[in-house]
Amino acid sequence: MKAWRLENFGLDNLKQVEVEKPKIEANQILIKVNSVSLNYRDTAIVDGVYTPDLLEFPFIPVSDASGEVVEVGSDVSKFKKGDRVTSHMFTKWLEGKPKSDEQLHALGATVDGGLSEYMVLNEDATVFTPDILSDIQASTLPVAAFVVWFSLVEYGSIKAGDRVLVQGTGGVSIFAIQIASALGAEVIATSSSDEKLEKAKALGASKVINYKTHPDWENEVQKLTNGNGVEHIVEVVGGSSIAKSIEALAYQGNIYVIGFLENMVAEVNLFSLLAKQAKIHGVNVGHHRAFEDFTRALDQLNIEPVIDTIYSFDQAKEAYKHQAKGAFGKIVVDFNK
Amino acid sequence: MKAWRLENFGLDNLKQVEVEKPKIEANQILIKVNSVSLNYRDTAIVDGVYTPDLLEFPFIPVSDASGEVVEVGSDVSKFKKGDRVTSHMFTKWLEGKPKSDEQLHALGATVDGGLSEYMVLNEDATVFTPDILSDIQASTLPVAAFVVWFSLVEYGSIKAGDRVLVQGTGGVSIFAIQIASALGAEVIATSSSDEKLEKAKALGASKVINYKTHPDWENEVQKLTNGNGVEHIVEVVGGSSIAKSIEALAYQGNIYVIGFLENMVAEVNLFSLLAKQAKIHGVNVGHHRAFEDFTRALDQLNIEPVIDTIYSFDQAKEAYKHQAKGAFGKIVVDFNK
Amino acid sequence: MKAWRLENFGLDNLKQVEVEKPKIEANQILIKVNSVSLNYRDTAIVDGVYTPDLLEFPFIPVSDASGEVVEVGSDVSKFKKGDRVTSHMFTKWLEGKPKSDEQLHALGATVDGGLSEYMVLNEDATVFTPDILSDIQASTLPVAAFVVWFSLVEYGSIKAGDRVLVQGTGGVSIFAIQIASALGAEVIATSSSDEKLEKAKALGASKVINYKTHPDWENEVQKLTNGNGVEHIVEVVGGSSIAKSIEALAYQGNIYVIGFLENMVAEVNLFSLLAKQAKIHGVNVGHHRAFEDFTRALDQLNIEPVIDTIYSFDQAKEAYKHQAKGAFGKIVVDFNK
Amino acid sequence: MKAWRLENFGLDNLKQVEVEKPKIEANQILIKVNSVSLNYRDTAIVDGVYTPDLLEFPFIPVSDASGEVVEVGSDVSKFKKGDRVTSHMFTKWLEGKPKSDEQLHALGATVDGGLSEYMVLNEDATVFTPDILSDIQASTLPVAAFVVWFSLVEYGSIKAGDRVLVQGTGGVSIFAIQIASALGAEVIATSSSDEKLEKAKALGASKVINYKTHPDWENEVQKLTNGNGVEHIVEVVGGSSIAKSIEALAYQGNIYVIGFLENMVAEVNLFSLLAKQAKIHGVNVGHHRAFEDFTRALDQLNIEPVIDTIYSFDQAKEAYKHQAKGAFGKIVVDFNK
């Protein structure tokens, strides 16, 4: 079968090769992959900045994949040939707190990922693709969309009527706008571009702040919420942004640290933290049970993933380059294009 | 001012009288009432079957009221003249578990209710009326709608994608269909009337069961959920229905006992209960903090209260009679009609 | 190896036989069993009243076993030869809500149990035996003690200072007294025997009620708690007891239905249930993660399992007979006696 | 009556004066104070570093007080003359998340505190003193002990068997050792003094680390927990300590930021934070309902507050000076000395 393999760090070492179709064990399924999507994580892996010590070359990259079951192991009871399925990144993290080694098994990193014609998944590292989504759409879910659900639902126990601040309009943030508003929250979105803020409104944001014209956006948030602040902040910026995020919170509000575009080190004023009784959660995607919950919920919620550009299998490198530059929505590789 | 007062048990003893406009204390507000709605509870109070020992005649009945603030006490900081407000029934239950006497203070029972031109409310027994609702619509919320929110959100921590079974199409059940589906749940509704089931679908139910043609509706529920069962049941029937409800549940599913139309005594098979690991919750409306959450959420959710008939102030007795007969949706008394 | 096997319903069909030592799979361990304990469940299985339809004869009964690891499968990473381990009854229920078939795999029923010299366990159906307990003591934990922990900690989120009512002095109830008081709760115990109530006090009960002299024990409970009631009731009686239990509760208190000595059908007054906002939980032991939590906690808590009588392997039938009669504390079979 | 009043920032401006005995309102009680204890907060208020903008001179300082009820307002139902009571610092924060102004009403700061013969408390800013504690002991609870309970129980839902790291041996940390071990946790304590570590062991710590000889104490914690890390860290150091605390955590472990002895600004490595899925909670004491829970629990738990030195009323300034220098346990002012 055809596959892209990373043979060493650097995009030059991403090579299209012909390899043997993988074999499945009793509790596994074989997928014919139809679509994968890229995340910041995927470019960070290629660049050698994300868990480089754990990687063993060569391996097939990319964690997010959707496709069709073509073969099932003898112990598999949940799936059958022909089922439409989507991958779950942490292949051994089923539920609850991760146990010692459950975070070490990650698709597209320590376990072969989805950038190949066929892909092996553990039965319990797989979910049914939501009926209302195409494979192209569903392949955008496992990291960027699910991390938002896991933050808001599992950590934050979000309730309809809560207020959610979303920073910027990257892949995670767009999903945050869509998911939070579908869950009945009031969403405030920030961006440096009025044009993108208009799009954010169309996707569900009730209120928007241009942080270029309002560098003190934390005060704007307090104004827009009548001095209450927001219960939830999807934090993807890091660095000095966290200090402002604390100021924008409601009492006992939650900051979900998902990324750190600006700076990996944040200076946190502890007095502000405790005066606000703020909670900061480090979020690293989530477990299989919650991913099942999320994908099942999508059949009820009206969320259409925003896709920036679709590339063909042969254009995988172009897809990586686009992902590295940034996009409004997700970068997808459609194997049938 | 004009008021309806209950002078003894029985609807004949509901009398329209002229009384003095009430005076407020420092932490209270005076409301010009525009609309009230009736609940099963209101007819049960008149009939002497609901907490008759706690009542002292005469008193002004009806707990659910919406109107406009016309005067505020000296310590009131949250409301000002002209604000649109709605009443909260348990006037002293602010948050958490009820303390000893917090359940004894109930509007329209031990505390004068809303069936009069003016009404006194404690500042912290009042919420802002949602912007998107009229006073007529908002007056339907405090008991019938809120008890559903309190069950699903506070007790059940409902998540989008959960499955909810709603029995029948009374006032509480219709709100259950609307609220659960607005929260992203998949709703299964039951009724003995195909016509009402069609209406239930229009209001948000995904699936319906006619329990006349399917007296074993618990099996139908299992079929419609691929043998999973439902995570939540809004139980308003009681009696022998509870046994069937347990069978219709998913593992660790929740039954919220809100009413008991059929029979106040339920025979519960304990073996089924523990095999299913079921949870049965007795629900008695809810506390003020959650009612604030709910009414704030309504500005984000797209829920239009279903009103069966609107009566004028002078027609209050007709309204009570209609409520006693049953209705599809709520019975309202519009003071400006 | 020597084993007891149940060849059909009835204690006469419990036969000591010589069978082949079982073989393990890659994710399993082989245990040399040192001790097992009996539960109500074990006699109910023999009598054909507990899930008889699921059983396939012959099988090795008894779920609760402690022993030593003598062999580990190739994929096992958590245990090694020589480790002291204890069994977890629901061999596939790892965490969270049980999934469709996870309740079907139960040691001593659908899966061979511990009443044999050697026993096979899945790696993730096993816990380390607490250092401070002997194998004889540890073999009393998996059902009778753990179901109490699961009720109070997982369902009830018990806090130090809460009040817990424990009914009677059977195996589960004695553990309930010990565990609840070790967790900082105030325990009220009931019994028909003043002598047993004295023992209950010695085990941690703060207050006791003789229900023979106080058949209205629910009122006594309210008196002993200054009209507050108790937050938790470990309900093992069933039948008409549940109605009294509701009266003995604090607002939003919890009843954990674990057994039903008196009657499998309970008449529940729904008005009381909702006025008290009571929660009734059906409890069916618990999952592996919580059993790990519990056994780890035992190294900190000062709980010594109460053992009524210890039988030898050859006396297994006598042990069953004693269990059926009732005991103060646990009935154990010590394989080294 | 005699009182100490702070007339401006600086200990020189703490003056003993004769003032009128305060009058109570309908919902208040008058206390004859028997004992107060000092916290870091009290010296910080005098030094003008803790919420200086909110203070209005002169006022009576000190939040933690125990005494006897000598007069009750007309609406007071919970307390009567002669009851032994203890103060709750945030006088308006009753339960749940703090509302807008509930954090502005603090005893010994914006509301007159306990350093006077008589003191006024709102009925719902008061708890019963635990029977098993003297007034001197009970006066140590409201801030230093309660903040630990609120962190571990309310935020952290601590379970017996959890592992807790406690830094140092100041007033909060000693209570953390005692409370966590009384709740069944395994406690690891750190200090720069082997002598203090011995005392920590006597108070309940299972394991200890001298951070002078082990400046990489975070690695020691991982070793002592077999690479699991701790579920809870009571963080009172701040500054660079937080980075180490994250390394010492178990997956999804909690850091409760209660103080910042070293530095008010912490540099947090966001990659570590999210890889560990850590939760950082800013804690600012707690609400009245939880303080009631805590004080009720103390009747079951075996905790004897550690008191370093007891001063007389006239020696209040000496007490402040001692508090500023640091102590092993609490500094108390006994009004009857």
pLDDT at B232 over 90: yes
Do residue A161 and residue B185 have CB atoms under 8 angstroms apart?
no
Among the listed residues B188, B193, B194, the one whose alpha carbon sits nearest the alpha carbon of residue B165: B188
pLDDT at C140 over 80: yes
Return the amino acid letter for D85: V
Mean pLDDT of B215-229: 97
The reported pLDDT for the residue numbered B297 is: 98
Mean pLDDT of C111-131: 97
User: Which of C77, C96, C101 is nearest residue A96 as measured by Cβ atoms?
Assistant: C96
pLDDT at B50 over 90: no
Mean pLDDT check: name the lowest of A78-87, A175-184, C221-230, D50-59.
D50-59
> Which chain D residues are within 8 Å of B127, Cβ to Cβ?
none
User: Which of B185, B299, B301 is nearest residue A300 as measured by Cβ atoms?
Assistant: B185
* A279 at interface of D, judged by CB pairs closer than 8 A: yes
Q: Which SS3 state, helix, strand or coil, does residue D294 take?
A: helix
Nearest CA in chain A to B295: A161
The reported pLDDT for the residue numbered D239 is: 83
pLDDT digits (tens, 9 = 90+) for B276-311: 999 999 999 999 999 999 999 999 998 999 999 999
Return the H-helix or E-strand segment holding D334: strand D330-334
pLDDT band at D308 (very low <50, low <70, confident <90, very high): very high
The reported pLDDT for the residue numbered A253 is: 98
Among the listed residues A8, A315, A311, the one whose alpha carbon sits nearest the alpha carbon of residue A136: A311
Mean pLDDT of D7-22: 97
CA distance B286 to chain C (A): 10
Instruction: Give the distance from CA B218 to its chain's centroid.
Output: 25
The single-letter DSSP state of residue C238 is B
Nearest CA in chain A to B297: A161
The reported pLDDT for the residue numbered B163 is: 98
pLDDT at B248 over 80: yes
> Which chain B residues are within 8 Å of D77, Cβ to Cβ?
101
* A78 at interface of B, judged by CB pairs closer than 8 A: no
> Which chain A residues are within 8 Å of D274, Cβ to Cβ?
257-258, 282-284
- How many alpha carbons lie under 13 Å from residue A144 in its C-beta half-sphere? 33
The reported pLDDT for the residue numbered B100 is: 74
Chains A, D: CB contacts within 8 A come to 108
pLDDT at B167 over 80: yes
pLDDT at D263 over 90: no
Q: Give the DSSP per-residue string, B195-255.
A: HHHHHHHHHT-SEEEETTT-TTHHHHHHHHTTT--EEEEEE--BTTHHHHHHHHEEEEEEE
C-alpha B12/C-alpha B7 separation (Å) is 9
C-alpha A266/C-alpha D268 separation (Å) is 5
Mean pLDDT of B196-218: 97
Do residue B297 and residue A184 have CB atoms under 8 angstroms apart?
yes
The reported pLDDT for the residue numbered A233 is: 98
The reported pLDDT for the residue numbered B133 is: 98
**Chain D adjacent subunits, 3+ CB pairs under 8 A:** A, B, C
pLDDT at B262 over 80: no
pLDDT digits (tens, 9 = 90+) for D80-103: 999 999 999 999 999 999 987 788
* A296 at interface of B, judged by CB pairs closer than 8 A: yes
pLDDT band at D50 (very low <50, low <70, confident <90, very high): confident
pLDDT digits (tens, 9 = 90+) for B9-41: 999 999 999 999 999 999 999 999 999 999 999
pLDDT digits (tens, 9 = 90+) for D152-211: 999 999 999 999 999 999 999 999 999 999 999 999 999 999 999 999 999 999 999 999
Mean residue pLDDT of chain D comes to 96
Show the domains of chain D with their CATH numbers: 2-140+305-334 (3.90.180.10), 145-282 (3.40.50.720)
A217-224 vs A241-248: helix crossing angle, rounded to 10:
20
**Regarding beta strands A126-128 and B84-87, do their DSSP bridges make them parallel or antiparallel, or are they unpaired?**
unpaired
pLDDT at C37 over 80: yes
Cβ under 8 Å to B: C residues 127-166: 155
Among the listed residues A45, A78, A58, A44, the one whose alpha carbon sits nearest the alpha carbon of residue A3: A58
pLDDT band at C239 (very low <50, low <70, confident <90, very high): confident
**Chain B adjacent subunits, 3+ CB pairs under 8 A:** A, C, D
Nearest CA in chain D to C179: D160
pLDDT at C261 over 80: no
Do residue C299 and residue D160 have CB atoms under 8 angstroms apart?
no
Mean pLDDT of C169-177: 95
The single-letter DSSP state of residue C97 is S
> Which chain A residues are within 8 Å of B300, Cβ to Cβ?
160-161, 181, 184-186, 206
pLDDT at A37 over 90: yes
Mean pLDDT of C239-262: 91
pLDDT at A134 over 80: yes
What is the share, in percent, of chain D residues with pLDDT greater than 70? Answer: 100
> Which chain D residues are within 8 Å of A274, Cβ to Cβ?
257-258, 282-284
> Which chain A residues are within 8 Å of B182, Cβ to Cβ?
160, 184
The reported pLDDT for the residue numbered B149 is: 98
The reported pLDDT for the residue numbered C263 is: 78
pTM here? 0.96
What is the share, in percent, of chain C residues with pLDDT greater than 70? Answer: 100
* A202 at interface of D, judged by CB pairs closer than 8 A: no
pLDDT band at B211 (very low <50, low <70, confident <90, very high): very high
pLDDT band at C101 (very low <50, low <70, confident <90, very high): confident
The reported pLDDT for the residue numbered D22 is: 96
Q: Give the DSSP per-residue string, B44-75.
A: HHHTT-SSGGG--SSB---SEEEEEEEEE-TT
Supply angle C-alpha C177, C179, C181, rounded to 5: 65
Nearest CA in chain D to C150: D159
pLDDT at B217 over 90: yes
> Which chain D residues are within 8 Å of A228, Cβ to Cβ?
100
Do residue D300 and residue C182 have CB atoms under 8 angstroms apart?
no
Q: Classify burial at B279, counting beta carbons within 10 Å of its beta carbon; exposed 0-12, middle 13-18, buried 19 or more.
A: buried
Instruction: Give the distance from CA A91 to its chain's centroid.
Output: 15
C-alpha C196/C-alpha C210 separation (Å) is 10
C-alpha C143/C-alpha D168 separation (Å) is 40
Mean pLDDT of C88-107: 91
User: Which of B77, B96, B101 is nearest residue D96 as measured by Cβ atoms?
Assistant: B96
Could you give the ipTM of this predicted complex? 0.96
Select the residue from A300, A302, A303 to test the B interface by mutation, using most B Cβ atoms within 10 A: A300
pLDDT digits (tens, 9 = 90+) for C302-312: 899 999 999 99
The reported pLDDT for the residue numbered C49 is: 87
Return the amino acid letter for C251: Y
User: Which of D98, D252, D280 is nearest residue A97 as measured by Cβ atoms?
Assistant: D252
> Which chain C residues are within 8 Å of A77, Cβ to Cβ?
101
pLDDT digits (tens, 9 = 90+) for B65-124: 999 999 999 999 999 999 999 999 999 999 999 987 788 899 999 999 999 999 999 999
Among A166-170, B163-167, B241-245, the range with the most confident prediction by mean pLDDT is B163-167
CB B61 within 8 A of CB B87: no
User: Which of D274, D280, D284 is nearest residue A284 as measured by Cβ atoms?
Assistant: D274
What is the share, in percent, of chain D residues with pLDDT greater than 90? Answer: 91
pLDDT at D262 over 90: no
Do residue A279 and residue D278 have CB atoms under 8 angstroms apart?
no
Mean residue pLDDT of chain A comes to 96
pLDDT digits (tens, 9 = 90+) for A253-280: 999 999 877 778 898 999 899 999 999 9
* Residue C281 β-bridge partners: B279, C256
C-alpha B257/C-alpha B237 separation (Å) is 8
* Residue B330 β-bridge partners: B307
The reported pLDDT for the residue numbered B264 is: 84
C-alpha D300/C-alpha D205 separation (Å) is 20
* C289 at interface of A, judged by CB pairs closer than 8 A: yes
* D183 at interface of C, judged by CB pairs closer than 8 A: yes
The reported pLDDT for the residue numbered D103 is: 81
Do residue D271 and residue A283 have CB atoms under 8 angstroms apart?
no
> Which chain D residues are within 8 Å of B96, Cβ to Cβ?
95-96, 289
Mean pLDDT of A171-180: 97
**Regarding beta strands A207-210 and A163-167, do their DSSP bridges make them parallel or antiparallel, or are they unpaired?**
unpaired
CA distance A161 to chain C (A): 25
Do residue D275 and residue A265 have CB atoms under 8 angstroms apart?
no
Nearest CA in chain D to C299: D161
Select the residue from D122, D289, D291, D296 to test the B interface by mutation, using most B Cβ atoms within 10 A: D289
Q: Which SS3 state, helix, strand or coil, does residue B9 take?
A: coil
CA distance A222 to chain B (A): 17
Q: Residue count of chain A, please give it.
A: 337
Mean pLDDT of A188-213: 97
* B242 at interface of C, judged by CB pairs closer than 8 A: yes
Do residue D265 and residue A264 have CB atoms under 8 angstroms apart?
no
User: Which of A77, A94, A101 is nearest residue C94 as measured by Cβ atoms?
Assistant: A94
**Regarding beta strands A28-37 and A14-18, do their DSSP bridges make them parallel or antiparallel, or are they unpaired?**
unpaired
The reported pLDDT for the residue numbered C48 is: 93
Mean residue pLDDT of chain B comes to 96
> Which chain C residues are within 8 Å of D157, Cβ to Cβ?
157
What is the share, in percent, of chain B residues with pLDDT greater than 90? Answer: 91
Mean residue pLDDT of chain C comes to 96
